[in-house]
Structure 1
Amino acid sequence: MTRTITARELRAHWAEGREIALLDVREEGPFAEAHPLFALSVPVSEIETSLPALVPRLSAPIVVYDAGEGYAARAARRITALGYRDVAVLEGGLQAYARIGEVYRDVNVPSKAFGELVEAIRHTPSLPAAEVRRLLDEETDVVVVDARRFEEFSTMSIPGGRSLPGGELVYRIREAASSPDTLVVVNCAGRTRSIIGTQSLVNAGLPNRVVALRNGTIGWTLEGFSLATRRTEQVAPPSEETRAWARERAAAWATHVGVTVIGAEDLARFRAEAETRTLYTLDVRDPAEHAIGHPAGFASAPGGQLVQATDEWLGVRGARVVLYDDDGVRARMAASWLVQMGWDASVLAEGVALPDAFPVPASPRVLPPAEAALTPDDLAGLTDATIVDLARSPAYRRGHVPGAWHVSGPALARDLAALPGDGPIVLTSPDGRVAAANLTDARRATARPVLILSGGTRAWTEAGRPLETDERFVSEPIDVYKRPYEGTDNARAAMQGYIDWELQLVAQLANDGIARFHVARAPDAPRA
């Protein structure tokens, strides 16, 4: 029987800096309504595909919880089956936790709460949308740089802005603002990335006046201003002069914060200890640079997104983190933020020679089914099959195998009985991996034969077969949280509600008392 852990015992791990991973195994929708600060959203149906990267050490302590849906016990069994050895269920689930700790809305909350704390401590400069609009209309020496991912910038952006993802800001900013007289405006969709981006430039000692666009594209929209769409303008890669300036400034700030720079021997020791201390090795450069080449074992994690969404890469709170770049800038700036967020983060020194082979800890056992897999031709030949698509609902809406029903992964065992027909059930998912991982649970829940589409919906399209967009939902589509800061069709009330929520995060952090955040002040800054 899986052991249990109390909420107080869980919180003690965080307060004392001991390793632990907390998994919310419900759908993302309910997760975004309420969860503890350091909880990860890992729906029970996606454990096999999501957990190995988030929790790479099999002996790392893992706690799972739900809100009474019955998913936690099933999740614990599946995690144990992967080879994890220290798995517990949170006693009393979310309700018990909420009696002694704060619960939070939305997603990527640790990073967003930290960003609000940075603004409160450092008084990060910002301007409202109306003032930025006036400056753009009346002044000529103003640049707007968008700190989000390029894809988000292209979807909707401030007119006249250019894409400069947050992890690249210090590295490239002088290509956008070569004169110290140029006003630099940093924006994102809401608040966090513009706060962190602006403060990064201030921390690096950029001589320019730098301000965040207060409340980002949400604030711009709420003022009634139009956004640009489908823009492709990007700030150029840095010149040697810019690189030299950025390297010197990043090194000075990282040293001030206390970022450790390690060499090959240190990394080898960390890797040798990875069976007893969780280790993440991440390349914070642009993903295109990572794709061209990177040291063995370093996963792609663009620096701006890593700081904005630590919970999408770093699943075990209290773990070690080693960051890599080839310029001496981006890893130091990203690490400086992670250290302030309570992570044991260090930077691999530039130009270090590393071996292609190194000891790798035992990895989770993901065993694909040896039978029950159909080819697209096999599936097309079945006349009485009921197709179940386990994709997230937005992917299902974009296109699915004709006739497929959408079932939310965690609700699969419950909702199979609601499917029509009495022939075989065929599970699919975007690449087939989630479908294969849920085959056993599906077979336990129905007397009907259950098969999987090998390679999933991707294999279906690669075989030249069409998709359809007619919708058939068996489960309520609560598997994805509708983010009020993405896209161009958000309700004004949702956008305003999101800004109001962000503004109260500092108070919520203070009441919770387990974050272990510490914002570094400027060198020799007087204490208030």
Structure 2
Amino acid sequence: MHSARIKLELTSFRLSAMSAPSVNAPARSASTSSTWPKVDARQVQAMLSDGQELAFLDVREEGAFHDAHPLLIVSAPLSHLETRLADLVPRRDTRVVLLDAEGEGLSERAAERMARWGYTQVSILEGGLQGWKNAGLQVFSGIYVPSKAFGEFVEHSYGTPSIDAQELKTWISEGRDMVILDSRPYSEFHNYSLPGGINCPGAELVHRVFDLVERETTTVVVNCAGRTRGIIGAQSLINAGLRNPVVCVRNGTQGWHLSGETMARGSRAVAPPPTPEGVRLAMEASERVARRFGVKEINVAQLRELQQQATQRSLYMFDVRTPEEYEAGHIPGARSAPGGQMVQSTDHYVGTRGARIVLCDDNGVRARMTASWLIQLGWKEVFVLQGGLSACGLALEKGPEVPTQLPVEAATQVQQLSVLQVQKKVQSGEAVVVDLSSSLRFRDGHIPGAWFAVRSRLASAMSQLPTHKLLVLTSVDGKFAEIAAADAQAVSSAPVAVLQGGNAAWTAAGLTLEPGLTHMTSTTDDVWYSPYDHVDMVKAMNAYLSWEIGLVEQMEKETGALFEYFE
């Protein structure tokens, strides 16, 4: 088999890579100047395709990012840089371009922090998002847009078969010989699923399917919440050569809900781990897929060589097994990225375009399947580690992944107050509580009378608060409040304290939280709201599905966006 490069471009022109200027000037220290190197939108567009590494980061809040952003930019909100940046952009001398809204100042604040953390090639997009638009370049709404668009590309290119909710309902009522496999993570599946569905996330499909179908006549039905993971999941089984009929559910659980059907809640049906025979068949299937899509495998010596070169070329290493397997034991230094999620939200894990990616698991099945999709997504240097967990000869680490945290600006004289102390100070009118949890978590429940604020907008929030002698910060568990304490001190005229243990400590003490979006100092564009998070879910689902389907047409107008099609 051979591949043909598909260029999703109809009328636009491609900038020559030679025209991209070098952005190698070190970012200036905040102590000497607030001026940072600037690049314009056309220069950044050229940099995205010049073959060199680039981290193009949007430092606005996630909800603002969702509303409009360039296609190949990665969300890295200023509010959460300490806990996200090091994993997104591990190499400190990577070329970095930051974007915000024109005149917002977030890029400058982010650049100052990045300089303190040792990032040396930080530049700012001139004019921010508006500068990108003024250059005649497209903006997209949504999150994980490249992966979402890729799902639509796969369906159109390979003709992935699908059925709608009504047809599935008919099949169920007829007692059709079929198995319904839900390709989402267990937490999503457990919350809501199709009746009779079995949880089998993403890369687990090929790994476990051979033990789930006794007859080749059994139809395998794959679904997700919307479209992408269902399409990729079904096509994975087809690519693997499964002889059974395979279809995906068009529009997933959203399509089921919109058709007036009731979803199952709290299901615990999970596809069991594969038997030895199931593993054998899955390995053979994944090897066929690897040959077709040109998946490269490396041994431990080659991995060590890539690791030695990691100061010149960015290297990401991911364990694509389930989170539970990762927690039970993983190679030191490998991050957890379950295969299905890795494909449908790649920019959540990798912030540097042009980087190298190494995937590992226990027997190669899930790593090969995941690699095959990353290659089709356009990633050039994707490798599977031969021998998986046993390759490195090291003792495995146990426990969940702990994000790398960069140094937090130290706050001075910030009190850690107990629940009882905060309660008394609030009741006396001495203190006001500011909750820095996401607006979604705040809506679900917050300390009675607390005010909602976004960390990056604390200066604006201060002018909206009632008169107080003490500002008390809280968050879900108090940790984020501690990180933000220095920021609050910089803009607050009153002393700052932190609720020890956050809202979790408040409820653990037997105190109640109140729901609702009350006492808001900011709009709720700090995070993305899924269709299931909206009051009018039907309207939100219809809008989301229309957006997802419409990505193909918008991608055709995009300059330089490339996926790989394999015949």
Q: CA deviation at 1:364?
A: 4.1
How far, CA to CA, are the matches of 1:255 and 1:16 in structure 2?
A: 28
1:372 corresponds in structure 2 to 414
1:518 match: secondary structure: strand
Q: Runs of at least 4 residues of structure 1 off by over 6 A?
A: none
Task: Map 1:203-222 to 2 at 5 A.
Answer: 203-222=239-258
2:119 is the counterpart of 1:84: yes
How far, CA to CA, are the matches of 1:414 and 1:163 in structure 2?
A: 45
2:467 is the counterpart of 1:421: yes
1:468 corresponds in structure 2 to 513
Q: CA deviation at 1:45?
A: 1.5
Task: Map 1:72-471 to 2 at 5 A.
Answer: 72-98=107-133, 99-343=135-379, 344-350=381-387, 351-355=390-394, 364-369=406-411, 371-376=413-418, 379-380=422-423, 382=425, 383=428, 384-458=430-504, 460=506, 464=509, 466-469=511-514, 471=518
CA deviations over 1:81-105 (Å, ceiling 9, x no partner): 2222221111111112123322111
CA contact (8 A) 2:144 2:347 kept: yes
How far, CA to CA, are the matches of 2:306 and 2:171 in structure 1?
A: 50
Residue 495 (structure 1) aligned to one of 525, 541, 561: 541
Letter in 2 for 1:147: S
2:530 match: secondary structure: coil
Cα gap change, 1:157 to 1:465, in 2 (>3 Å): closer
Q: CA deviation at 1:389?
A: 1.2
TM-score by length of 2: 0.86
Number of equivalent positions: 516
2:242 match: secondary structure: coil
How far, CA to CA, are the matches of 1:162 and 1:510 in structure 2?
A: 36
Q: CA deviation at 1:290?
A: 0.6
How far, CA to CA, are the matches of 2:510 and 2:311 in structure 1?
A: 45
Letter in 2 for 1:27: E
Q: Name which of structure 1's ranges 426-435 and 207-216 shifts more when overlaid on structure 2.
A: 426-435
Residue 27 (structure 1) aligned to one of 27, 37, 61: 61
2:106 corresponds in structure 1 to 71
2:433 match: secondary structure: strand
Letter in 1 for 2:498: I
1:436 match: secondary structure: helix
2:546 is the counterpart of 1:512: no
CA deviations over 1:37-60 (Å, ceiling 9, x no partner): 122222222111221221122112
Identity %: 42
How far, CA to CA, are the matches of 2:395 and 2:151 in structure 1?
A: 37
Cα gap change, 1:366 to 1:266, in 2 (>3 Å): farther
CA contact (8 A) 1:58 1:364 kept: no
Q: Name which of structure 1's ranges 29-38 and 394-403 shifts more when overlaid on structure 2.
A: 394-403
1:347 match: secondary structure: strand
CA contact (8 A) 2:299 2:386 kept: yes
Q: Name which of structure 1's ranges 3-12 and 164-173 shifts more when overlaid on structure 2.
A: 3-12
| Runs of 5+ consecutive residues of structure 2 not aligned to the other structure | 1-34, 397-403
Letter in 1 for 2:317: T
How far, CA to CA, are the matches of 1:2 and 1:459 in structure 2?
A: 42
Q: CA deviation at 1:187?
A: 0.6
CA deviations over 1:65-121 (Å, ceiling 9, x no partner): 112333222222222222222211111111121233221111111110111111111
Cα gap change, 1:490 to 1:186, in 2 (>3 Å): farther
How far, CA to CA, are the matches of 1:363 and 1:228 in structure 2?
A: 38
CA contact (8 A) 1:186 1:212 kept: yes
Q: CA deviation at 1:162?
A: 1.1
2:203 match: secondary structure: helix
How far, CA to CA, are the matches of 2:302 and 2:132 in structure 1?
A: 38
Q: Name which of structure 1's ranges 10-19 and 185-194 shifts more when overlaid on structure 2.
A: 10-19
CA deviations over 1:191-238 (Å, ceiling 9, x no partner): 100110011001000001101111111222222222222211111111
How far, CA to CA, are the matches of 2:534 and 2:450 in structure 1?
A: 29
| Runs of 5+ consecutive residues of structure 1 not aligned to the other structure | 522-528
Letter in 2 for 1:14: L
CA deviations over 1:350-372 (Å, ceiling 9, x no partner): 23134469xxxx98434554641
CA RMSD of aligned residues (A): 2.3
TM-score by length of 1: 0.92
CA contact (8 A) 2:411 2:489 kept: no
1:418 match: secondary structure: coil
Cα gap change, 1:5 to 1:296, in 2 (>3 Å): same
2:49 match: secondary structure: helix
Residue 73 (structure 2) aligned to one of 25, 39, 44: 39
Q: CA deviation at 1:421?
A: 1.7
CA deviations over 1:419-476 (Å, ceiling 9, x no partner): 11231212222243432333333233232222334554445556x3634225432222
Cα gap change, 1:65 to 1:264, in 2 (>3 Å): same
Q: CA deviation at 1:487?
A: 6.1
CA contact (8 A) 2:83 2:405 kept: no
CA contact (8 A) 1:45 1:434 kept: no
CA contact (8 A) 1:406 1:475 kept: yes
Cα gap change, 1:225 to 1:489, in 2 (>3 Å): farther
